[in-house]
Amino acid sequence: MGSLFYLIGQGFKNIWHNRVMGIATFCVLMVSLLLVGVSSLFVMNIEILLGSIENKNELVLFLKDSVTEEMLPDAQKQISALPNIAHVKYYPKEEALENYIAQMKEYEEVFDSIREDNPLPNAFNISIADTSKMTDTVKALNAFDFTEKVKAPTEFAQILTRLRKVVFITSIALLTALIIVSLIMISNSTRASVYARRREINIMKYVGATNSFIRMPFFFEGLFTGFVSGVGAYAVTYYGYTTLMDIITNNIAFWETIGVSEPLPFSQIKYTMLAIYLCIGAVIGALGSVISTTKHLQV
């Protein structure tokens, strides 16, 4: 236990003695974590935006005139039994006419003239669970005997499905590239720090110190630097994201107009983001330091 505290103390001493390189490593690691963190937040918000648009998709099944009120419960039951059906609501033609009148009040007299002989069909408003399966769902709905016509935004659903795939593939490629670039930047920064102390490492090696004994101070130095970098990246992310969200979410009318959910609140992910930043920063910092010492231990 005494040796462990000694090696931890040596790690902190190394940080102070090599504070210039330590600050450089801290900055590189913090920026790398920020790139990954901000990209992740962007992708999560894009997913929320697409999900809220997807929830707005509804199908309308128009019923044949021969369908009586007694047949409606069975028809609704058959629709609900289909896969990919989230919600079914009966939409009588009287309600449809009232909605038309409310939307086009200037033609109220025209609509009043057809109240007694309403030509609009009865219908079901149907919400689906997965827009990527909309085409199959429409085919199944059209197969019912009571179906006159199904109105569905199939083209929009196809565009949305393709857009989601593009966002998913792009986000995976972007995050992978950022992580690789981050590792290269951190490795180079750490290697420079270790290279500056190569004589110190060689002397320790010649006097009989084991490889593990030499690596441990570098390990704790990298661990601590990575941990502090994670704290710094979290603080910048928290301030930047919450400030930006305050500006955006204050304009409630904008979100109501486009009919989508508000962005992801930082309060929902703050502990997860902090844990990820600290863990990734500490692990990469420690591994980078240990790996970079390997070359100079070959004496």
Alpha-carbon distance values, 11 to 6, 282, 296 (Å): 9, 14, 17
CA-based end-to-end distance of the chain: 29
pTM for this entry: 0.62
Give 81's pLDDT tier (boundaries 50, 70, 90): very high
What is the four-CA torsion angle of 171, 177, 179, 183, rounded to 10 degrees?
180
Give 128's pLDDT tier (boundaries 50, 70, 90): confident
Residue 275, pLDDT score: 92
Q: What is the mean pLDDT of residues 8-17?
A: 67
CB 167 within 8 A of CB 46: yes
pLDDT at position 234 over 90: yes
CB 202 within 8 A of CB 299: yes
Q: Which of 201, 189, 238 is nearest to 34 (CA)?
A: 238
3-state secondary structure of 281: helix
Give 231's pLDDT tier (boundaries 50, 70, 90): very high
Burial of 202-218, coded b for 16+ CB within 10 Å and e otherwise, reads: eebbeeeeeeeebbbbb
Q: What percent of the chain has pLDDT over 70?
A: 77
CB 180 within 8 A of CB 171: no
pLDDT at position 35 over 90: no
